[in-house]
């Protein structure tokens, strides 16, 4: 379900989509607040050079209507009482066989 959602969000980024999508990954997986674009360019989730980051922001295009449909159509699992149920794998064990790219092993969050 997550890989299908990620594919649909990526498809919404019609020009410089790979650069924009990696920017999103970097933003979501960066520890603490992001204070500059340089921080994102150095984040583990951003595998491209800093030039790709700026090119994505300057020249990238997003199909906003399609992105809205993708976000709205994402079904959130709910408990019997109606509360939203979210799950996260927080184990410290590396999973090299997981369906993600190899550098995406840890995404620390605090709070």
- What's the pLDDT score for residue 18? 92
Contact 40, 30 (CB under 8 A): yes
Domain ranges across the chain? 2-73
Lowest-confidence segment of 40-44, 89-93, 104-108 by average pLDDT: 104-108
- Residue 49 to residues 36, 37, 43, 105, Cα–Cα distance (Å): 15, 12, 11, 20
pTM (predicted TM-score): 0.63
CA angle 51, 37, 105 (to 5 degrees): 90
Backbone φ and ψ for 14, nearest 5 degrees, come out as -80, -30
d(CA 21, CA 101): 13
Burial class (CB within 10 angstroms; exposed 0-12, middle 13-18, buried 19+) of 18: middle
pLDDT higher at 21 or 79: 21
Contact 77, 30 (CB under 8 A): no
105-109 mean pLDDT: 55
Q: Residues 57-69: pLDDT tens digits?
A: 999 999 999 999 9
């Amino acid at each position: 379900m997550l890989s299908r959602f990620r594919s649909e969000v990526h498809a919404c980024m019609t020009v410089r989509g790979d650069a924009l999508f990696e920017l999103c990954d970097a933003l979501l997986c960066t520890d603490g607040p992001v204070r500059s674009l340089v921080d994102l360019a150095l984040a583990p989730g951003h595998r491209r050079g800093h030039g790709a980051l700026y090119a994505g922001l300057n020249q990238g295009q997003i199909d906003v209507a399609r992105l809205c449909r993708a976000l709205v159509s994402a079904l959130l699992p709910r408990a019997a009482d109606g509360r939203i149920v979210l799950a996260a794998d927080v184990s410290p064990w590396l999973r090299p066989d997981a369906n993600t790219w190899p550098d995406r092993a840890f995404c620390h969050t605090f709070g």
